[in-house]
Amino acid sequence: MKISLPRFDQAKVLVIGDVMLDRYWHGATSRISPEAPVPVVRIGNVEDRPGGAGNVALNITSLNASAWLISATGDDEAAKILDLRLDAGGVCCDFIRIPNVPTITKLRVISQHQQLIRLDHEEPFTGLNADIIESKAKKLIDKVGAIVLSDYNKGSLKGYKSLINLAKSRGIPVLIDPKGSDFNRYRGATIITPNVNEFEAVVGHCKTEQDLLEKGRNLLCNLELEALLITRSEHGMTLIQKEGDALHLPARSREVFDVTGAGDTVISVLAAALAVNSDFAKAAALANIAAGIVVGKLGTATVNMPELRREISRDFGVERGIVTPKQLKVVVEDARAHGEKIVFTNGCFDIIHAGHIGYLEQARLQGDRLIVAVNSDSSVKRLKGNGRPINPVDRRQTVLAALEVVDWVVSFDEDTPENLLETIKPDTLVKGGDYALNDVVGASIVQAYGGDVKVLSFLDNCSTTVIVEKMQETQEE
């Protein structure tokens, strides 16, 4: 299955559920306490992050999507910190502040990248009126393309049925990260995303893959779901839909560092993709890639667009080498997100010679990444006449891609690369030869958006045309 990034910047998601403050105390450990056989940690840094539904919302905005969050908190300092952190992350918060009940806070003590202890401060939000949540959801429902119910069993998520019906009445997918052993309250949802332990707590132990699939299909049918995504830790994910075969996605993580919040990342990417009409399979594949990234980070963390682009690029082998114009756009956006300067040059490159090598080495020094755009065979024939090119475009691209100084090679069918320049907008356009700057094709395009245009020199008497003429002279002799 080919995976590409959807337009996450057009995704709008409403998150409703349990929000909490994840607090981390970081410090060095150098001795054991004389009072008890426990390490003494000297706290050097305190870090506060939104957790639970807050982490889901932050994962959504980190994809450049829009997120609204409805949740219950206490009326205390922790709630104020959550509001500030989420607002800074671009999340629009609507908190129901309940006096005399603390905002759920999880304190973790970390030393040498290891969690030593977790201390939970929480009381259930009993007595919360479900009508308040539904009323707030109704005000936002027409703005969004998906709803996430982030259930941590803390009491701030009420009225499952009414919220599911509200979403379905608008044709909006509703996604649920479930908790507990009663999945009946999620009946009618679009998709639920239990981990394998949560799944087996409801359906019973699965002895084989076939057993898991059969129980998954039964649950899908009984709860009237459209899809079920089971996250299975080192065994990846399994997507079961009403029709068609199940899709198994193998685990992607190179090194598991911390699984905290991985489920939040999965449902956030899934929701953002479904909000812009991706199908379940592609949305689940993206969520699987994101999960593999986030478990390599410490604590509740998010995944951003450059990280996803980079992983997808690795899958399709386009970190360097020959690319399509569409692939080129993706890798260039990723390079720019990392502050890299893009250099662009173009030509026929029919016979690669010393002049080309020297020129391309000079071009590479003008920035961090070098794109070489190559005229297609039909384009070369129109420019150079019959008998050219001597080497077809695939061979010319292969030779260029093998050069260490070249990052990406792309071909174009037009007589000029102006369409590519309009799309890619390189920082610097370079050309070799005795051109005046104003004579360089595409110079006006690059200069119009503030880019640079430079003319670099070839080696004297070293060109494809000269080489071809000498070959012809030799044959005539």
Supply the residues annotated as catalytic.
Answer: 264
Provide the token pair at 12: 């709008």
The one-letter code for the residue type at 265 is: T
Nearest-angstrom CA–CA distance, 233 and 125: 31
* ω into 389 cis (within 30 of 0): yes
Sorted by sequence, the CB contacts under 8 Å of residue 395 that are 6+ apart come out as: none
Provide the token pair at 56: 């889901």
Cβ density class 174-190: b for 16+ within 10 Å, e for less: bbbbbbeeebebbeebb
Contact 67, 92 (CB under 8 A): yes
Residue by residue, what is the 3-state secondary structure of the chain? CCCCCCCHHHCEEEEEECEEEEEEEEEEEEEECCCCCCEEEEEEEEEEEEEEHHHHHHHHHCCCCEEEEEEEEECCHHHHHHHHHHHHCCEEEEEEEECCCCCCEEEEEEECCEEEEEEEECCCCCCCCHHHHHHHHHHHHHHCCEEEEECCCCCCCCCHHHHHHHHHHCCCCEEEECCCCCHHHHCCCCEECCEHHHHHHHHCCCCCHHHHHHHHHHHHHHCCCCEEEEECHHHCEEEEECCCCCEEECCCCCCCCCCCCHHHHHHHHHHHHHHCCCCHHHHHHHHHHHHHHHCCCCCCCCCCHHHHHHHHHHHCCCCCEECCHHHHHHHHHHHHHCCCCEEEEEECCCCCCHHHHHHHHHHHCCCCEEEEEEECHHHHHHHHCCCCCCCCHHHHHHHHHCCCCCCEEEEECCCCCHHHHHHHCCCEEEEECCCCHHHCCCHHHHHHCCCEEEEECCCCCCCHHHHHHHHHHHHHC
Q: How many CB atoms lie within 10 A of CB 353?
A: 17
Query: How do 105-111 and 114-121 pair as beta strands?
Result: antiparallel
